[in-house]
Amino acid sequence: MAIREIVKLGHPALKAKSEAVKIIDRETLALIKDLKDTFYNTDGVGLAAPQIGVNKRVVIIDLRDGMEPILLINPVIKRRLGHQESEEGCLSYPGYFGFLERPKAVIVKGLNEMGEEVKYKGVDLLSIVFCHEIDHLEGIMFCDKAYEIYEEEAQPVVSLPEKKRK
């Protein structure tokens, strides 16, 4: 369909809670196609519909490590296990990275593009990406949770209060 613009920090779609997809119709399939086209035009590992300005609960994840890409509609984290420190960036906040705490593993359920229920266990990087993309659906960006943010190739530009760390 089309490569869409990835909206940046400050765009209202990134702060809004996304709506559940009620039916997988032509409009939903067109959104999925645009999301895929846009995603594969980047070097990221995940993209959520709000990042292309659409507040629908759809994400695509591809770690680009040979695994099968994951397309999830209405994803929900059912279980969080353990903790890990994560260093993250975002296509909607280019040039900045931050440190935050994420689960070591998650169990995620949702629908695939055929409307079938699917379930995944994400560990390590996949857990981080599931959490990052599902946060976008809630209007949350990594920088909202980070305890330290820095500009690429620079020292930390923001050190947030210790209370953000768990």
- What digits encode the pLDDT tens for the residues 79-130? 999 999 999 999 999 999 999 999 999 999 999 999 999 999 999 999 999 9
Q: Looking at residue 64, which CATH number applies to its domain?
A: 3.90.45.10
Does residue 59 form part of some domain? yes
133 is an active site residue: yes
Confidence at residue 152, expressed as pLDDT on a 0 to 100 scale = 83
User: What does the pLDDT look like over 136-166, one tens digit per residue?
Assistant: 999 999 999 999 999 987 655 555 555 444 4
Residue 63 lies in a domain: yes
Secondary element (H or E) of residue 127: helix 125-137
Q: 85, 116, 133, 152: which is the annotated catalytic residue?
A: 133
3-class SS letters over 105-121:
EEEEEEECCCCCEEEEE
Query: Side-chain half-sphere of 62: how many Cα atoms within 13 Å?
Result: 16
Residue 2 lies in a domain: no
Alpha helices of 43-124 — where are they, by DSSP H? none
Residue 46 lies in a domain: yes
Q: Does residue 105 fall inside a structural domain?
A: yes
**pTM exceeds 0.85:** yes
Q: Is residue 100 part of a domain?
A: yes
Segments forming the whole domain that contains residue 104? 12-164
Residue 94 lies inside a defined structural domain of this protein: yes
Residues 98 and 87: their CA atoms lie apart, in Å, by 5
**pLDDT above 90 as % of the chain:** 90
Rounded CA-CA distance 86/55 in Å is 25
What is the domain count for the chain?
Answer: 1
